[in-house]
Structure 1
Amino acid sequence: MNKQEFLERLENLLNKLSPSEREKAISYYSEMIEDFIEDGCTQEEAVIKVGTPGQIAETILSEDVSNKSKKESTPAKKMLIATLIVLGSPFWGAFVLMGLMLLLTGFCLLLVGYMLLWTIPFLMGTLTVVSVILSVVSTLGSFAIMQSNLALGLTQFGVGVIASGLFILLAISTGMISKYFVVITKNVWGWVDINCLQRLRGIKLW
């Protein structure tokens, strides 16, 4: 097979290519054959070194199909991803917003519960103040009442003693509960500082 026959056969086998691509392939193998001829080969020997038209055409067509599939699939994939992002953004955005709202609600509930717990020592402290005032007023007032009515004065004095005992009991209980709550507060704040605040400080936003 000489050069002309080789090129004609190759051109026929590459009829699925566009004219420009087919012309490019024919020119490439024509120059390759000419290079072999310049090196001292005959046309037949040069054609044999280049390869058969069938093998060359099969290789060129397979590469062309692969390139076309890549060019066609890449924009399609990009379009699909973009579509999913656009359609999914409101969906996931709603879930993220819902999650943030739930976290905020949970935090508010914990804060309210914590404040309600602190009302216990606060109320006990208030009762302590009331009891000490009642103790002082009842004790001092009992002496004045005894001058006119001994029984009523003694009763008033007894109320003062009871109020004093209640004051001592409430003062001790309030101190113990407040101390316990302070320890809990320190532990909770320490956990929040270690597990949340320090990690947030370590995040670099730039």
Structure 2
Amino acid sequence: MNKQEFLYQLEEGLIRLEESEKNQFILYYDELIEDYLEDGASEAEAVSKLGKPSRIASKILEEAFEERSFQKKKRSPLMVVLLIIGFPLWGSILLTAILLILSAYIIIWCLPFTTGMFAVLGLGASIFSVCASFFAIQDGVYIAVTQMGISIFVLGLALLSGLATLNLANHFIKASKRFSGKIVGLFEGRGLSL
């Protein structure tokens, strides 16, 4: 590859840069090649010492975009002072927003928690009632049979409640993910970072 081909490929690789920046890099690498030529290297040797133009271009673009993103993230001293002075106002608003989000999650998860607790407590109560119905025989067979029937009914309700909890939990996990996505999207849409 000769000098012209190298510079052409480098220029094509730097197409996303502004014209003035691109020209600076082209001139810089042109001078580097000229320096190698003055030292006695052939044009092909000088170009090969620099490396592939596509790699050079990608490295330049990467550094340029990192520098731009770093410059965007820098805050001016005035902005920092205003953030500190305004903390009582924006801090309380931020705390309110966090508490509102937390209360939304509590509301979302209240129903599956309630059905889950009923399933666990109903299971425990029905097992205790089945065991206690054997001791109720001494008060009468009809009392023991009634207690056994009620405990089996509560066991059925507990199992149904457990199934409802699993089904509700799946739906509420999806709802929580959507809600979280909307909250994150709200912050990203305004250019805020969490």
TM-score range relative to shorter protein = 0.3 to 0.5
- TM-score of the superposed pair, with normalisation by structure 1: 0.44
Question: Could you say which structure has the greater relative contact order, defined with CA pairs below 8 angstroms and 6 or more residues apart?
Answer: 2
Larger Rg: 1
- TM-score of the superposed pair, with normalisation by structure 2: 0.46
